[in-house]
Structure 1
Amino acid sequence: MTAVSLLRRSLRLHLSPALFRRHGRSLFTSSPLAASSALSLSPSHGAIPRGLRPPSSLLFPRFASSNISGDENLKRVIDSEIQCARELDNHGQEVDVPENFPFEIVDSPGDQAVFLKREFAGENIQVTVLMNFDEQDDMEENDEDDGDDESNESSMEPSVSLVVTIEKGESSLLEFCCNLNAHELEIESMVIKKRDDPDDQGAYQGPEFSDLDENLQKALHKYLEVRGIESSLFDFLHEYMLAKDEREYLTWLKNMKEFVAK
């Protein structure tokens, strides 16, 4: 993930200053006095004889040439980023699914999330998996700034976000929002939703999960664990989502290159 983060930062650092410098030279004259003179000599001021007017190239910058130059620079940078992404040690490697993994994996190219599905005792269970890349970037930056800060280590662990939906027939459904790391599955919220109106904002949502009785919290953790939602999923899901992000990033670069090349 560190390599991917560096690639993204490199892309931003290469593009912005270069484009600004290229357009900057064509948009501004070399000095305030020259700029003032150019404005004062504008054709809109009819008092200046035609023969004394400056060439039109000084009054109207040739944006087309600058744009073409900027496009070529962007293409070169994108090509460089694509090459770097392809040269990553783990580029293109498949992540092995653990034996007895209880879920079907639904991974559509171009989607940010991965979906896990299974049936269990008459229930339909779906888990939406999202990678917390922002937390990982913050963790890497904090490690660079202060590697001895134990509080940073405990609060900035790699994690995966899970939204677990459990449906049973035509009745209501349960939705859990969870944070999964290497040590535990943390339930952040749990709500009961109507199947025919899951976005009902007026429905009573219950208290904050952390305010529930401790025994009820433990029972809900056990409820998810029986259905296969537990901390042991972390290693596989973390590795899988990192690999997916690398694939999606490379595809994103190729799509950008195709657009710019048109």
Structure 2
Amino acid sequence: MLSIRSLTRSAPRQLGRLSAAAARQTSAARPTTLLRTTSSLNSIGRVQRVSAFSTSVFRRAAAGETDEELSAKLDSEIQFEEEVKQNEQLPASVKDFLDNSPFEIEDVPGKEDVKLVRKFGDEKISIVFSIADLANYDPEMYEQDRALEDEDDLDTASSTNKQQSGASPAEEAEEEQDYDEAAPPTRLTIVVEKPGRSPGALNIDAVAQDGAIVVENLFYYEDAALANPATPADAQRRADVYPGPPFGSLDEDLQILLERYLEERGITQALAVFAPDYVDVKEQREYMRWLNNVKTFVDA
């Protein structure tokens, strides 16, 4: 789930956007007479600006009057993050997956992408996901989409659970809160290769959300290089290839068998829970790294 720190950091940004929007609206609402007044006083404005010119302004600006204040603010942010980190534990889903999963993790500091790699018999399986999903995540849109998709099923299940369990209002409220705090969806790019046995590769586009893996597309490329294009030329070649139909248009029995095929290779519920939680962990690490880098630069 999104950490308290992420929500706290986003608040001033939203206020800034609102302030900027209000400023634009105020500017747009000014009467056109102001433009005429500005035009008529243009020559006076030029005289005033010229008379106010002084090299001392540039000397003061070159000294960096805000550097010390900015550095202090960055330092307070770093201290805040350190204090929160001391009171936080690695999510159980992350620890369990790293300890028990057959996948090896490749996480390079400063990079947005995270890569999981494993061997399955003669196959090589890689999964890539990114913390960029957090930057592109719109909680309101996601909640609206999820509510539209799950409203009927959720009401039915909730009614059944209440009748069977006799849950108290407090327990029901806690369950609803847990549902609302679900981690944002994380996109997964899964590639299955057979080095030495086949030149091709399967490319699966999936989403880890609400504790499940949702397959969106399962493509096949005759050249494995197209599944992970490393050059603009490969990306162009990939764009010209017909990779297959959307997953949802396939026969239902075929979809089920393909999902079981992926489960055997570790594309399971454990991964669905791990990926969004690890994205949150990595985002916090990268934010801390960013704070320290910016402070080091300002102080240099």
Which residue number in structure 1 is paired with residue 95 of structure 2?
Answer: 96
Q: CA deviation at 1:259?
A: 1.6
> Gapped runs of 5+ residues in structure 2?
20-37, 152-178, 228-234
> Gapped runs of 5+ residues in structure 1?
18-31, 44-53
Aligned partner letter, 2:194: K
Which residue number in structure 1 is paired with residue 224 of structure 2?
Answer: 195
Cα distance change, pair 77–204 in 1 and its aligned pair in 2 (3 A): same
Q: Distance in 2 between matches of 1:186 and 1:142?
A: 15
Which residue number in structure 1 is paired with residue 188 of structure 2?
Answer: 162
Q: CA deviation at 1:256?
A: 1.0
Q: Distance in 2 between matches of 1:123 and 1:179?
A: 22
Cα distance change, pair 179–62 in 1 and its aligned pair in 2 (3 A): same
Q: CA deviation at 1:75?
A: 2.1
Which residue number in structure 2 is paired with residue 117 of structure 1?
Answer: 117
Per-residue CA deviation, residues 139-194 of structure 1 (Å, 9 max, x unaligned), is 5x988xx9xx9449879852222111111024101111110123421111121121
Of the candidates 46, 57, 62, which is equivalent to residue 57 of structure 2?
A: 62
Q: CA deviation at 1:71?
A: 2.9
Which residue number in structure 1 is paired with residue 214 of structure 2?
Answer: 186
Contact in 2 for aligned 1:112/1:130 (Cα 8 Å): yes
Higher relative contact order (CA 8 A, sep 6+): 2
Q: TM-score, normalised by structure 1?
A: 0.72
Per-residue CA deviation, residues 18-59 of structure 1 (Å, 9 max, x unaligned), is xxxxxxxxxxxxxx799853523677xxxxxxxxxx4643xx
Contact in 2 for aligned 1:178/1:188 (Cα 8 Å): yes
Q: Distance in 2 between matches of 1:37 and 1:61?
A: 23
- What root-mean-square deviation, in Å, do the aligned CA atoms of Structure 1 and Structure 2 show? 3.7
Cα distance change, pair 110–85 in 1 and its aligned pair in 2 (3 A): same
Task: Judge which range, 78-87 or 119-128, deviates more.
Answer: 78-87
Per-residue CA deviation, residues 1-32 of structure 1 (Å, 9 max, x unaligned), is 23223225437868xx9xxxxxxxxxxxxxx7
Contact in 1 for aligned 2:188/2:207 (Cα 8 Å): yes
Contact in 2 for aligned 1:107/1:114 (Cα 8 Å): yes
Q: Distance in 2 between matches of 1:91 and 1:81?
A: 16
Cα distance change, pair 10–88 in 1 and its aligned pair in 2 (3 A): farther
Of the candidates 77, 84, 100, which is equivalent to residue 81 of structure 1?
A: 77
Q: Distance in 2 between matches of 1:34 and 1:102?
A: 74
Cα distance change, pair 55–214 in 1 and its aligned pair in 2 (3 A): closer
Contact in 2 for aligned 1:85/1:250 (Cα 8 Å): yes
Q: CA deviation at 1:218?
A: 1.3
Contact in 2 for aligned 1:106/1:115 (Cα 8 Å): yes
1:236-251 equivalent positions in 2, closer than 5 A:
236-251=274-289
Which residue number in structure 1 is paired with residue 9 of structure 2?
Answer: 7
SS of residue paired to 2:297: helix
Task: Judge which range, 150-159 or 112-121, deviates more.
Answer: 150-159
SS of residue paired to 1:96: helix
Aligned partner letter, 2:281: A
Cα distance change, pair 256–172 in 1 and its aligned pair in 2 (3 A): same
Q: Distance in 1 between matches of 2:288 and 2:52?
A: 46
Contact in 2 for aligned 1:7/1:81 (Cα 8 Å): no
